[in-house]
Copies of this chain bind each other. A is one copy, B any other.
Amino acid sequence: MSTAVNLADVARIAGVSPATASRALSDHPHVAPATRARVWQVATDLEYVVSPEASRLAGGSTGRVAVVVPHLSRWFFGSVLEGLESVLRESDLDVLLYRVGDAAERHAFFDKLPARRKVDAVVVVGFSVGDDERRRLERIGVDIVAAGGQIASYPSVRIDDHAAGRQAVDHLIHLGHRRIAMIAANDPGEDAGHPAGRSSAYYAALADAGIGVDDRLVTTVDWGVEQGAEAMSALLGATSPPTAVFAHSDEVALGAVRTVRRAGLRVPEDVSVIGIDDHPLAALTDLSTVGQPVREQGEIAGRMVVAGLRGEEFERAVLVGTRLVIRGSTAPPRRVRRGGRRVDA
């Protein structure tokens, strides 16, 4: 036997998670027979010896799944949670809820969880997980699933942020806008910054349309309505303000709309505004947006957890589609009417 072979090697070569490999090797009842056979075959081939500790941990199914979210009062996270809870409940798995609002809370969560072996799997909703934290979870054989984001190579369900950003910015370009601002939004609890794909989409769309980037039209704020409102104030104060604004989220976009109106300007006649999400607010306030299915991402993450715990095969990287929802907050710029005739204001 080679002492260099560990559970992670067996799992990788068998094409399953360390958690599933661990369960398969401890003859856990919920592992599919084919999976169990494959894992055992790989373990035998590699002359892997099950450590008593790994076996004990894998055997102790808790029937609980930790769901870790940065926010609870925000629609996106509540909706993902609602989808997750419903699927896990159907499979008789209980949801242990952890809100980790900032880095300190997140570290505390990852420090405490393994020591007590409270859960069989962890679903991380909408934030990234550091390498140290991942290693800690892997060591104790806990499945990880990412919902509304992506974490290394773990199973994940999310939207394609770049594609969503293109839908929004291309819509503004097609309407005839050339001075297009972007309000990027950081989640304050998130190390990784704002969704990079949404920003890269902005630059790519402008480049494809032959529109030069004006740095004064790009701003990054913390996520929120008020922050969107302030960012818009700064943009309106520029010598040559934008005729259209792409905001990274609907709530930021709605702050921008409020500022435009308070400045005595009209949406969309003077400034078009588009967000991302299709938050319930968007329909209420007639905001154009790029819609994403949110509850569904929770449901898919839930099904990934269930499949993973059973050792069943499943698609490990699901991208859910987004769609352009054109409402009343976007229109051609005032000085370019249909047909291309310029009508100076």
| Residues of A bordering B, CB below 8 Å | 64, 67, 71-75, 77-79, 81-82, 85-86, 89, 94-99, 118, 225, 254-255, 258, 280-281, 283-285, 295
Contact = CB atoms under 8 A, between A and B. Distances in A.
27 contacts: A64-B96, A67-B97, A72-B78, A72-B82, A72-B85, A73-B78, A73-B79, A73-B81, A73-B82, A73-B295, A74-B78, A77-B78, A81-B97, A85-B98, A85-B99, A89-B98, A94-B118, A95-B96, A95-B97, A95-B98, A96-B97, A97-B97, A225-B283, A254-B284, A281-B281, A281-B284, A285-B285
Contacts of A284: 225, 254-255, 258, 281
A199 B327 CA distance: 36
A77 B95 CA distance: 17
Classify the interface of chain A: helix, strand, loop or mixed.
helix
Contacts of A73: 75, 78-79, 81-82, 295
Nearest to A64: B96
A284 B227 CA distance: 12
A154 to B, nearest CB: 22
Contacts of A94: 96, 118
A295 B188 CA distance: 19
Closest 7 CB pairs of A and B: A73-B78, A72-B82, A73-B79, A97-B97, A95-B97, A72-B78, A78-B78
A281 B281 CA distance: 8
A77 B78 CA distance: 9
How many copies of the shown chain assemble into the complex? 2
Contacts of A97: 67, 81, 85, 95-97
A63 to B, nearest CB: 9
B225 A280 contact: yes
Given A71-B78, A73-B79, 9 more contacts: A64-B96, A82-B99, A85-B99, A94-B118, A95-B96, A96-B96, A225-B283, A255-B284, A258-B284
A183 B82 CA distance: 28
A107 B99 CA distance: 27
Contacts of A89: 98-99
A74 B254 CA distance: 18
Nearest to A67: B97
A131 B339 CA distance: 69
A77 B75 CA distance: 11
A77 B81 CA distance: 12
Nearest to A229: B284
A309 to B, nearest CB: 18
